[in-house]
Amino acid sequence: MNGTGAATAPILSVDGLVVRYGAAIALEDVSLEVGRGEMVALIGANGAGKTTLLNTLSGILTPSAGTIRCAGRLAHVPEGRELFFDLCVDDNLRLGAWKASSRDPARIYELFPKLRDLSRRKAGYLSGGEQQMVAIGRALMAGPDVLAIDELSQGLAPIVVQEIGRYLVRLNAETGLSVLLVEQNARLALELCARAYVLETGRVATHGPSALLRDEPAVRSAYLGGHVTT
Amino acid sequence: MSVLLQYLVTGVSRGFLFALLATGFVVIYRVTKVVNFAQGAFVVLGGFIAYSLLGAGVPQGLSEVLAVLASAAIGLLFGVVTLLGRMSTIASLITTIGLALLSEAIAMLVWGTTPLTYSGLSGHDLRFGGIFVQPQYLLLIGVSFVVLASLWLLLDRTYVGKAMTACASNPYAARLTGINVKAMGLLSFAIGGALGGVGGVLIMPLFPITYDSDVNLAILGFAAAIVGSLTSPTLALAGGLIFGIAEELVAGYWSQANETAVALGLMILLLLWQSQRRQQAAKLI
Ligand SMILES: Nc1ncnc2c1ncn2[C@@H]1O[C@H](COP(=O)(O)OP(=O)(O)OP(=O)(O)O)[C@@H](O)[C@H]1O
Ligand SMILES: [Mg+2]
């Protein structure tokens, strides 16, 4: 069923998920898995239901059918970062640990040294890239086993995206953190993650190892700019 | 000179009452983005409940503590009604006005329309710079100061306080981090109720209260809260003191009928000055 998929039980498994907004169906029978220590991409066009899926995973939305099993803690980096603008960077990070045992953000400052100098600044006065680091840092403060990131690259310069992407890969390699990465930039997502799901109007259109998906004609034309040969 | 001093003492006391009200506005707004116009009702109901408990023979201190707790419970109840469902800001504002009118009606039915008062802290008046000050004034100032300082510490210096601020700053993100946004909102209403109750039990021995005193109190408390943009407890305290002193000076040197009008005029001037400053700040950026 999956390519490089997990030999052990997955850390996150979603089965037959249906989510509605009133009468409109946003997710229809979505199933996916994230293995322990795996980085999985979720790509799809605007309105495909990616954000809906993450909001359901973190309990903001209630599914009308299906099951979500998470064998650990899931933290969610929301689309648009959604920081506490009135609070300083340090407070934003600390509040990420509301349900966790340690409130000390030292490890986040180690991961993003830039944030240490900005720790007293109001989150509203940060650049987009800095805000994204705080958003990721805040989610990491929850001590998650799975990190779900919505639109990592949104509004960021490519070089910043590369930088944050490298942080994620390092974190994944060093700590075994599992990642579910929602991305508009399919090229980036397939590069960072070994496996991917393609969501189309609320359904999983296809999934598999990134290396294979990259060559699927449908994926190439819809998400990678089909005629480009690389 | 001693007349002026007398006005100042009274003004500062009234100022602390307004500051308690203003801080109630601030706490509730900071957590829920709701402007709670029922804030004055907490003062009236708190004071009246203490009055009734005293009448029933409950010792003074205990009556006052119980009345404050009752006000907190009423605040909680108002919070439940206001935060029920997901109302727009304007709808919840109207709800709080409705709750204020409702509690006025209840207060009138239960306690009638005559101004009520009870005697406060006993003891000799204290001589102080050529004037005599009732100990109750000092109690009001002292207790309010301690209450307001603790609340400032809670909001600005503690983890729970930051979480409360986070709820208004970004309720969605607050939920994502696992903060119970609704519970925090209810907590803020209970604190708002308690603050009003503290004001009520302390002010009633000095200034008799009627069932409909809440409107005036809420407006002046709101005016003071506006000084701190509805978010700063320290500026709200400053605002309360400004309005309290201004009100007493106007009442003393001019006429009592004008005191509220002048205070409100002052509020409008402050608002204009603040928006001017904000525009200038915006130009700099
Ligand atoms: N609160 C809502 N109420 C009603 N419909 C909604 C709501 N939020 C999203 N939708 C609809 O659900 C569908 C999926 O939206 P969702 O935000 O999950 O898409 P997405 O894949 O994250 O898109 P994007 O890439 O633009 O962020 C869309 O058709 C959207 O219009
Ligand atoms: Mg989205």
d(CA B206, CA B132): 14
Position B122 scores a pLDDT of 77
d(CA B238, CA B212): 26
% chain B with pLDDT above 90: 68
Q: Considering its fold, how many domains does chain A have in total?
A: 2
Q: Decide which of A121, A144, A167 is a domain's last residue.
A: A144
- Which residue would you say has higher pLDDT here, A141 or A154? A141
Q: Which of A76, A85, A94 sits opposite B176 (nearest CB)?
A: A76
Region of residue B268 (left: phi > 0; alpha: psi -120 to 50; beta: else): alpha
Residues A137 and A229 in one domain: no
Burial per residue of A130-153, b for 16 or more beta-carbon CB atoms within 10 angstroms, e otherwise? bbbbbbbbbbbbbbbbbbbbbbbb
Strand partners, B126: B133
Position B1 scores a pLDDT of 66
Average pLDDT of chain B is: 91
Whether residue A228 has pLDDT greater than 50: no
Residues A182 and A230 in one domain: yes
Q: Considering its fold, how many domains does chain B have in total?
A: 1
CA angle, residues B107, B109, B111, in degrees to nearest 5: 60
Contacts of A134 in chain B (CB under 8 A): none
Residues A156 and A92 in one domain: no
d(CA B200, CA B46): 5
A201, with CB counted inside 10 A (0-12, 13-18, 19+), is middle
A84, A101, A104, A125, best to mutate vs chain B, most B CBs in 10 Å: A84
Answer for the pair A97, A143: CB distance below 8 angstroms, yes or no: yes
Instruction: Measure CA of the first residue to CA of the last residue in chain B; give whole Å.
Output: 47
Largest CA distance in chain A: 51
3-state secondary structure of A204: strand
What does the pLDDT average to over B38-60? 96
Residues A203 and A124 in one domain: no
Residues A218 and A164 in one domain: yes
Question: pLDDT digit string (tens) for A13-64?
Answer: 999 999 999 999 999 999 999 999 999 999 998 999 999 999 999 999 999 9
Confidence category of residue A97, pLDDT binned at 50, 70, 90: very high
Answer for the pair B70, B49: CB distance below 8 angstroms, yes or no: yes
Position A195 scores a pLDDT of 96
Pocket test for ligand 1, best of A19, A25, A46, A203 (most atoms within 8 A of CB): A46
Answer for the pair B51, B272: CB distance below 8 angstroms, yes or no: no
Whether residue B87 has pLDDT greater than 80: no
Contacts of B228 in chain A (CB under 8 A): none
Q: Tell me the shortest Cα–Cα distance from A108 to chain B, in angstroms.
A: 16
A227, with CB counted inside 10 A (0-12, 13-18, 19+), is exposed
d(CA B159, CA B90): 30
CA distances from A33 to A211, B218, B256 (A): 18, 55, 73
Q: Decide which of A92, A119, A144 is a domain's last residue.
A: A144
CB-based contact, B177 to chain A, within 8 Å: yes
Q: Tell me the shortest Cα–Cα distance from A213 to chain B, in angstroms.
A: 32
Position A226 scores a pLDDT of 53
Count CB neighbours of B65 within 10 A. 17
User: The sheet that has A195-200: what strands, in order across it?
Assistant: A74-77, A146-150, A178-183, A39-44, A195-200, A203-209
Domain that holds residue B147: 2-284
Position B285 scores a pLDDT of 52
Q: Which of B159, B170, B231 sits opposite A84 (nearest CB)?
A: B170
Position B3 scores a pLDDT of 85
A55, A57, A82, A102, best to mutate vs chain B, most B CBs in 10 Å: A82
Contacts of A144 in chain B (CB under 8 A): none
CB-based contact, B175 to chain A, within 8 Å: yes
Lowest mean pLDDT among B19-23, B96-100, B210-214, B247-251: B247-251
d(CA A157, CA B91): 41
Question: pLDDT digit string (tens) for B207-259?
Answer: 999 999 999 899 999 999 988 889 899 999 999 999 899 888 888 888 777 77
H runs (alpha helix) in chain B: 2-32, 39-55, 60-83, 89-111, 135-157, 159-169, 171-176, 181-203, 213-227, 233-253, 259-284
Lowest mean pLDDT among B163-172, B238-247, B269-278: B269-278
Residues A152 and A226 in one domain: yes
For the entire predicted model, the pTM comes to 0.88
Domain that holds residue A105: 79-144
User: How many CB pairs below 8 A link A and B?
Assistant: 51
Q: Decide which of A144, A177, A198 is a domain's last residue.
A: A144
Non-local (6+) Cβ contacts of A24 within 8 A are none
Non-local (6+) Cβ contacts of A69 within 8 A are A12, A13, A14, A15
Residues A116 and A176 in one domain: no
Residues A52 and A156 in one domain: yes
What does the pLDDT average to over B68-76? 98
Among all bound ligands, the one having the nearest atom to the CA of A44 is 1
| Model ipTM value | 0.91
Query: What CATH number is associated with residue A208?
Result: 3.40.50.300
Non-local (6+) Cβ contacts of B116 within 8 A are B47, B48, B51, B204, B208, B209, B210
Lowest mean pLDDT among B30-39, B50-59, B89-98, B276-285: B276-285
Among all bound ligands, the one having the nearest atom to the CA of A42 is 1
Whether residue A197 has pLDDT greater than 80: yes
In the 8-state DSSP scheme, what is residue B209? Answer: B
Position A5 scores a pLDDT of 46
Burial per residue of B249-259, b for 16 or more beta-carbon CB atoms within 10 angstroms, e otherwise? bbbbeeeeeeb
d(CA B238, CA B224): 8
Residues in chain B: 285
Q: With a 6 A CB cut-off, is A202 part of the ligand 1 pocket?
A: no
Query: What CATH number is associated with residue B161?
Result: 1.10.3470
A54: CA distance to ligand 2 center in Å? 9
Whether residue A109 has pLDDT greater than 60: yes
Residues A99 and A157 in one domain: no
d(CA A214, CA A210): 6
